Amino acid sequence: MRKNIVAGNWKMNNDLSQTETLLTSLKKQKQTSNAEVMVAPTFTNLWHAFEALRESNVEVVAQNMHFAENGAYTGEISASMLKSVGVQTVILGHSERRAYFNETDELLAKKVDAALTNSMRIIFCFGEELADRKGNNHENVVASQIKNALFHLDAAAFKNIVLAYEPVWAIGTGETASPEQAQDMHAFIRKTLADKYGNDVAQSVSILYGGSVKPANAKEIFSKPDVDGGLIGGAALKAEDFYAIVNAF
């Protein structure tokens, strides 16, 4: 059966000493839920975080990676480099990567393949912009993001894929999708998966919601049947808030 997951995306925040402070306070938190917990520090702090959280049940994941194994790609990081510092899971397709670094569905399909070839797990992000939602085109946008980057895969690949629906208008804005909007979209995503891969695959994939999740709204969002957890930005930078969300299940 699918798992509940709460993943903290630290984005481009926290230098080494700030990372140490956050890791120290994360280790002091008590988990009372059954959720899988992940944090995604910047590349420069991955190894440090992996070492610090080695004895904990918090998994350290990466925010991005390149599709190539190695070579002349200045400034980029490969799957095998991530694995060599203990990282087994990578976030791909975050809307900030799509918007500011021109990541297209086609590029993301290559990154997905590279991660799976390296036996990594993927948190695959997608979501519509405000204009899509206002134009009632949000389901089409989300379906095409999923199909273009993932539907060349076989069913077995979905054992290593977690989906994260993040409406762009809700990221970092303080405006959250209502629990009903999240549920409706998650049910639509699951149906899209079921139509292609069958119900067993659709029911086994965890679908996270992301976009201004906070301690105050997490419980209601997570109570929806097709919401299996959250990808948390701003609120993941404070250990107490992050664990209030982890424990909202």
Active-site residues: which are they?
94, 166
For the chain, first and last CA: distance in Å? 16
Residues 6+ apart with CB under 8 A from 177: 167, 170, 185, 209, 211
Alpha-carbon gap, residue 167 to 210, rounded angstroms: 7
Alpha-carbon gap, residue 125 to 92, rounded angstroms: 6
What is the smallest separation between the CB atom of 189 and ligand PGA, expressed in angstroms? 16
Which stretch of DSSP H or E encloses residue 97? helix 95-100
Task: Kindly indicate which of the ranges 31-39, 44-52, 112-120, 204-212 contains the residues binding ligand PGA, using the contact rule CB under 6 A.
Answer: 204-212
Instruction: Report the residue number whose CB is nearest to ligand PGA.
Output: 233
**Measured from the CB atom, is 182 or 235 closer to ligand PGA?**
235
Query: Would you count residue 171 as binding ligand PGA (CB under 6 A)?
Result: yes
**Measured from the CB atom, is 166 or 226 closer to ligand PGA?**
166
Query: Would you count residue 9 as binding ligand PGA (CB under 6 A)?
Result: yes
Among 10, 212, 226, 243, binds ligand PGA (CB under 6 A): 212
Answer yes or no: are the C-beta atoms of 208 and 5 closer than 8 Å.
yes
1: exposed, middle or buried (Cβ count in 10 Å: 0-12, 13-18, 19+): exposed
Query: Would you count residue 210 as binding ligand PGA (CB under 6 A)?
Result: yes
Three-state SS at 230 = strand
* DSSP conformation class of 175: P
β-pairing, 89-92 vs 121-126, is: parallel
Count of alpha carbons within 13 Å of 141, Cβ hemisphere only? 20
Among 93, 167, 229, 233, binds ligand PGA (CB under 6 A): 233
Query: Would you count residue 4 as binding ligand PGA (CB under 6 A)?
Result: no
Query: Would you count residue 229 as binding ligand PGA (CB under 6 A)?
Result: no
* Residue count, binding to ligand PGA (CB under 6 A): 13
The total number of residues written for the chain in this structure: 249
Query: Would you count residue 211 as binding ligand PGA (CB under 6 A)?
Result: yes
What is the smallest separation between the CB atom of 175 and ligand PGA, expressed in angstroms? 9
Among 59, 128, 166, 226, binds ligand PGA (CB under 6 A): 166
Query: Would you count residue 198 as binding ligand PGA (CB under 6 A)?
Result: no
Residue for token digits 């569905």?
Answer: 105
Which stretch of DSSP H or E encloses residue 218? helix 215-222
What is the smallest separation between the CB atom of 194 and ligand PGA, expressed in angstroms? 25
What is the smallest separation between the CB atom of 171 and ligand PGA, expressed in angstroms? 4
Among 232, 239, 245, 246, binds ligand PGA (CB under 6 A): 232
Query: Would you count residue 167 as binding ligand PGA (CB under 6 A)?
Result: no
Residue for token digits 């509940």?
Answer: 4
User: Where on the chain is the footprint of ligand PGA (CB under 6 A)?
Assistant: 9, 166, 171-172, 210-213, 231-235
